[in-house]
Each structure stands twice: as C-alpha cells, then as structure tokens.
Chains A and B, each alone.
Chain A
C-alpha cells in the first residue's frame, strides 16, 4: 500500500508539472491571423483571403480525397486553412452534431429536404445575411436549385455546389455496332429496341437495386425520370411536395411505364424478381464480361467510379461504353440528378468568402477534374477516376478529362442555364418516404406487387 501511495504522489506531481508546462505553451489563434489587405493578393484564383474552418460532408475514399485535393489547391492559393471531414453516415451524424449544439462550420448535403429543417431550428446562416448575390446565383446555378434552399422565412440557405446526373443510359457500343442498333430517341423506341435485342438473343438490361440499408433506391430514379417526362416539371414538383397524392394515377402510370421494360420477357439479366438482391455497384459488371451479359444500364454518372472493380474489367475497357440521354416521352426531354448543396452553420471565421470562390467557374473547374484538363487556373484535385459535374452554367467543358464526363457536363450546364434541371424527387421528400417507403415500395414492386398497391402503401406512409 505505501508503495502505491508514493506512486500516486509522484504521478500527481508529474501530471501537475506537465500540465503547467503545457499551460505556458503557445497562445491561441495561431493561423487565424487574417490577411489584412489579402483580397486577391495571394494568387489569381482566390479572392476571399485566408480563412480557417471545418467542412463536413458525406464523400469518403477517393471521392473524399478529391475534396481534400480541391481544398489543398484552394488553401495553397489563398493561405487558408480549411479542413474536410467525410463520414459515411453523414446525414445522421450531422443531425446528432446539430442537435448536440456542436455543428461544423460548413457542411454540404445531398438532401435539400434537410436544409430548411436546419434553418427552421435557427441553426443556419442565410445567404442574404452573408451577402451573396441571390439574383446572380439564380442566373448561374438555376433558380430551381436556389429555391430548394428557400425556407419559410423567405431567406435562402443553400448554396449549389456540384450536381450529379441521372438521366442517362450507359450502353455497350460493340454490341450496338455489331447489330446495327440505333440510339433510341423515345421511350417507345427504347422498349422496341429491348424487344429486338431479346429476339437477337441478347439480354438488354442490367439492374441492381441492392444497397444495404438503402436497398431499392436505384428503382426510384426510373420512376422520377419517367414521371418528369410524362407529366412535366410542374406535376413532378407537385408530386414531391405532396400537392398530389403519391397514389395519383399519374404516378401509377409512371410505374406501369417502367414495368414495360422491367417486366419485359427476358429484358432483365438475372430476372426481375432477383434485382432487389443485386448490389447496384455490381450491376455494371456484366457489361465488361465477354460477351457482354447485358447491353444497357441506367444509372447516375457516379457509377463510372465503380467500373474498375468489376470482375471482368480490363484496363481501358470503359471506352467500350457509351452514354445516351434517357429518351423523351411525348416529346418531353428532362434533366434529372442529385447534387450537393453547401450550408453554413457558422460564418464567424469568414467561410462565406471561401464559398463565394468555390462556386465560380474557375474553382468549379478545379473541383471538376482530376488533372485540370490543361485549362484550369488552379489545376485539378488530382484524384484519378473522380470527376465532378459543374454546379455553374459557365464551367468550361474543357475542364473534363473524358468524353463521357463532357457529355454529362454539357447536359447539366445546359439544364442549369435553361432552369430545367430537376432534382431527384426522393431526396426532396420527407425521409419517412424518400429514405424508406419509396425504397421498400420499389422492392415490393420489383417482386410483383401491383403498381397501385405500392403507390397507395407509400401514400399511407406520408407523414401528416
């Protein structure tokens, strides 16, 4: 016991001594010293001077590295110290931090539905307060996207950063060339082409709905793209705002239209009833088999990040894949996608200055490409295989390193300029629907539950 006591004394004294030394150490605030006349003095790229804050978001892995690479370029050019943290359970984590009273300074969310819920709690700083030019932003990033962050108090809270694009179909070019297939212009053409392929002994479609706890979401994209084209942007907006019920005939019609392909005899590799079990990241795999297991895949632009992991993939094989825009219905085109929107919880460190830079075409170019494409003033983010689409209508297509990304980027910039870009509807619905029953509804539907039953079950789950 006495040896123990001596140890305690020793430890206590030691701890005190070390703590005292620590206390006399460096002062606070190192690195936050503002650059007095700093606007524009550092390099041509940055106008905001040096700032320091934490950025929080969902991308991890290579996609997270791309954000890091972008911030490294920005920090280097402006002398700022902005750090990025990405966690995979982003939505829940952000909710915990905000409720716990300890939010990050800035975050970017893929779910615009959450913006106004944070704003209503008084957690966010409005764009008006930070001095953003709303009119110019509506011009550059589309009024549609800006309005997603327009909340009950009449202020804007969301800053469009970068979108992804979903209204596209990947196709296996050698198969199309060998059989003389043509790119379908209309949805009827697409159905006819699928039938033709089956007649030729080729399975047309690859599908994969499995995504762990989010299983079912890839199916929602089809419903959204079809509904957007069949009923137009207004009805589409009424749908996700619940101004028409989910089981409205317009919606069940969209399900049935999707069914023309999904339940077509021999249309789906592995069989429609098995689609719910195929991981969406595995769904491109058969395109790289020899011979190709399927000829077409509809998935967002980000799916190209998963090509390399396919078992049959050989280096450079992605060049065999082409993309075409999801065909028109009744002559209606549409551009549907998701996107990450910046929200500011704390502007005391001048985060807004940096964000104003980030949404300029120059910095969007840095964010967009791995290499900078030779034209970006600040280079690229340096992560191969990750390309971000433009969130600004004037981003130069030369920023993109591959033909495919240029195709996407062109479609997105045009849609932003024309204010026709439509957001993924499930991301705009309440989470009880958009992150649960719409997904599980797609699973039930894929396994044979009638469209009307699925739609009314989803309607019943809509929170009052």
Chain B
C-alpha cells in the first residue's frame, strides 16, 4: 500500500531516518490537525443519526454525555432520504461521472504529451493560453453553451454534460499532466524513438504507464469535481426529474431551508459514499505522486 511496495528507492518512514526523538511532537501535531479537520464532519455524521428535534434542540456534542441511550439514535433520516428518489439519482450520477472523467483525462493526456514532447508552431503560446483558461469562471460559459445546445437539440442528454465537464476540466488536467510528463527524462523518450516507436506507441506504451500515478490522481480529482458538481448537471440535464443527479436531489432538500436540517446530514453522507470508496481504493496512487520528481531520481 505504500511507496515501499512499489518503489523501494525512495524513503518512506522514520524507521530508516532514525531520530526517534522527533516522532513524538510530530505525532502530536499530526493528531491535532487531523482531529481539527475531522470535527466538522464528525458533527455532521452524529447529527445524521439523531432525531429531527434533537438536531435543532441541542448541539451534536451533547450525545457524548449519553452515548448509549438508544432512544437518542435513529435511522429515520436515512430511510427518508433513500425514499426520495436517490436510487435513480445515483444511477444518473454514475452515468454522468464516469465518461465525464474518462473523456477529459484522455484528451488531456494526449494534449499534454503533444505540449511536452512534440514540436509545432505556437506550442508554448497555446499551452499558456490553456493554463490561463483555468480562471474563466464556468458560470459565464453556461448561457452561450446552452444556446448552442438548444440549437443542436442536445439539452438533457448525457453527452451534453460529459462534453461540458470535459471542457471545464481540461485546463487543470492539461496543466498538471504537462507538468508531469515534461519532467520525465528526455533520454527515455529519445531511446524509444531510436527503437523506431511512433509517437502514438511511445505515448501508449511508455508515457501512460509512467504517468499512471498522476493520471489516477487527476482522475480522482476530476471524479470528485464531477460527482459534487451541481450547476453543470442542473443546467444541461435540465428539468426532467428522471435526469436528476445526487447533488440536485441534495440541493432540493437544502432548498427546504431549516425544515430539512434533519435530512441534510444523512443525505450528504449518502452522496459521499462513492467518492470515499474511490478515494480509498485509489489512494495508493497518491503515494507515488501527482507531480514531477518520482522518475527523475
């Protein structure tokens, strides 16, 4: 699971670095920050299992005074949430998310390779423009694109959402991938060329395997972004209730104001399940790295 398993050349933990005395403060600081970061989510988790009036009536931390009082706990919030059409929304979200991750990551990988290792006029200028596009606020893009979609009768279709997510996610993806691929040693690419490999072959056989960690990391970030996106899905999938994704359902609950305060924590956790599973499943790739350095050694 750690770098030791995949790449013994780099250090992993303090056992090798000795200096045991420095561990205690490190452990304390890490534990403190981790606890601080977890408290808000913990509050949400606890509240998701409390009765509606309790959520409103007292702070979530008060449960610690009476932890084993079974009357204080309820699954009611979850059952209500699951009855609210979340199964359909789940399927929709999966159908939206997987291609909306695969398309931009693939397109960006090809482009990043071209920007890093191919010669063509205007290469740097185009690349810098792409990085600059990261700041174009996507809210500005919705209406002009919607107009074109309306003309093409694309509104409310999955491809409309995939391509929109692909477009909006590309600048960051190209930026990060180009940054990583550009840092690979040129000797590697040159030797492949000498062996007679085409660019396509070099890319698929050499660059992609070497970039697996960064691609996986990027895929996770794009996944989280698309999964948690509300605006793009709402605008391009449109009104049809059968098309709704999880965030739209969640926002529907939130729109009921304080009245849905009891459902929101549970609903928020339902929408978080898959992102967490994906994160833990692919976590090991993060250890290898998203940016330059790993191969260069």
Chain A contact residues, CB within 8 Å of chain B: 1, 54, 56, 60-64, 83, 85-89, 93, 96-97, 99-102, 104, 279, 281-282, 305-306, 309-313
Contact = CB atoms under 8 A, between A and B. Distances in A.
Given A96-B146, A100-B146, A101-B147, A306 B259 contact: yes
Nearest to A55: B239
Contacts of A313: 53
B29 interface: no
A61 B252 contact: yes
Contacts of A96: 142-143, 146, 235
A301 B255 CA distance: 19
B79 interface: no
A305 B257 CA distance: 11
Contacts of B239: 54, 56, 85, 97, 104
Interface centre among A56, A63, A64, A88 (most CB of B within 10 A): A88
B255 A60 contact: yes
Contacts of A312: 57
A104 B241 CA distance: 13
Contact of B256 (A54, A60, A83, A85): A60
B289 interface: no
Contacts of B143: 96, 99-100
A287 to B, nearest CB: 15
Contacts of A62: 256, 259
B55 to A, nearest CB: 9
Contact of A281 (B235, B253, B257): B257
Nearest to A313: B53
A297 to B, nearest CB: 15
Given A1-B205, A61-B255, A89-B251, 13 more contacts: A86-B252, A86-B255, A93-B235, A99-B146, A100-B146, A100-B150, A101-B147, A102-B149, A281-B259, A306-B258, A306-B259, A309-B56, A309-B258
A11 to B, nearest CB: 13
Contacts of B99: none
Interface residues of B, number: 33
B259 A61 contact: yes
Nearest to B257: A281
A311 B258 contact: no
Contacts of B151: 101
**Chain B interface mostly helix, strand, loop or mixed?**
helix
Given A99-B146, A309-B258, A1 B252 contact: no
Contacts of A87: 234, 248, 251-252, 255
B170 to A, nearest CB: 22
B254 interface: yes
Contact of B252 (A88, A102, A281, A305): A88
B204 interface: yes
Contacts of A101: 146-147, 150-151
Contacts of A86: 252, 255
Contacts of B147: 99-101
Q: Lowest 3 CB-CB distances: which A-B pairs, in order?
A: A88-B255, A100-B146, A61-B256
A312 B56 CA distance: 10
Nearest to B241: A85
Interface string B212-249: 00000000000000000000001100111100000010
9 contacts: A1-B204, A60-B256, A87-B248, A96-B146, A100-B147, A104-B239, A311-B53, A311-B56, A312-B57
Given A100-B142, A100-B147, A309-B52, A281 B258 contact: yes
A281 B261 CA distance: 11
A100 B252 contact: no
Nearest to A104: B239
Given A96-B235, A100-B143, A88 B259 contact: no
B239 to A, nearest CB: 4
A7 to B, nearest CB: 14
Contact of B146 (A1, A61, A102, A310): A102
Contact of A100 (B57, B149, B254): B149
B111 to A, nearest CB: 20
Contacts of B255: 60-61, 86-89
